[in-house]
Homo-oligomer: A and B are copies of this chain.
Amino acid sequence: MSAADATILLVDDHSVVREGYRSVLQKQPGLRVVAEAADGAEAYRLFKSEAPDLVIMDLSMPGIGGIEAIRRIRQWDKGARILVFTMHQNAGFAVQAIRAGARGYVTKMSPPETLVRAVMDVLAGKIAISPDIDHELALSRISGESSAADVLTPREFEVLRLLLAEQTTEEIAETLHVSPKTVANLHSLIKDKLGVDSDIELVRLALRQGILTQVDLGEA
């Protein structure tokens, strides 16, 4: 391990998946995994203490999600390089992640080479998008339908995600360290922006746009 090795922080709530990253990245010279986190809050903490050259981050995690973690890290260090590596093959998520400050977006469907390539690109200062997401983005541009990701600010999108995942307004307020009133206001604003009247329509729209997938229903 030379001093010139690029240091990496892995963020994913599944330990075996992190093991997979490691295995793939270890084969690549010049890279060194220096820390691992299982959720957004831990990622933020470790970023501050370890100051890695690159963060590889999943999006769907317990507590504060990947988008919010990206926001916080970028707020702490404007130059932070974050590569999103997620199962969500969805243009909306990609748009939100990039807006929040991510420098790359690769799906877990991609072959390992794509991940390695993206890591190298981001470290070299480029923006890296995996081909399937490029395709999704192209499609969403053609169909021209305004997705939730287009009209919502990052903060609103994060609240939407938590609304779909967490239970109560109070819990979300605590997670985001804001007043319950603010969450309620955002909840209302989100429905307004998306043109739905009820929470039921909101969930249906989220399902159609892939913001909430069937796999997310797991946490009973």
Contact = CB atoms under 8 A, between A and B. Distances in A.
Nearest to A205: B220
Given A90-B218, A200-B203, A218-B89, A23 B19 contact: yes
B20 A88 contact: no
Interface stretch (A74-82, A109-117, A146-154): A109-117
Given A167-B201, A204-B203, A219 B89 contact: yes
A24 interface: yes
Contact of A17 (B16, B22, B202, B218): B16
A164 B115 contact: no
A213 to B, nearest CB: 8
Copies per complex?
2
A115 B20 CA distance: 14
Interface residues of A, number: 50
A136 interface: yes
Contacts of A21: 16, 20
A90 B214 contact: no
A208 interface: yes
Interface in A177-220: 197-204, 207-208, 214-215, 217-220
A113 B183 CA distance: 40
A197 to B, nearest CB: 7
A16 B108 contact: yes
A147 to B, nearest CB: 13
Contacts of A217: 90, 204, 207-208
17 contacts: A14-B109, A15-B109, A17-B108, A18-B20, A60-B214, A87-B215, A88-B215, A89-B219, A90-B218, A93-B218, A164-B200, A167-B197, A168-B198, A198-B199, A203-B204, A204-B217, A208-B218
Interface of A: 13-24, 60, 85, 87-93, 108-112, 115, 136, 140, 145, 163-164, 167-168, 197-204, 207-208, 214-215, 217-220
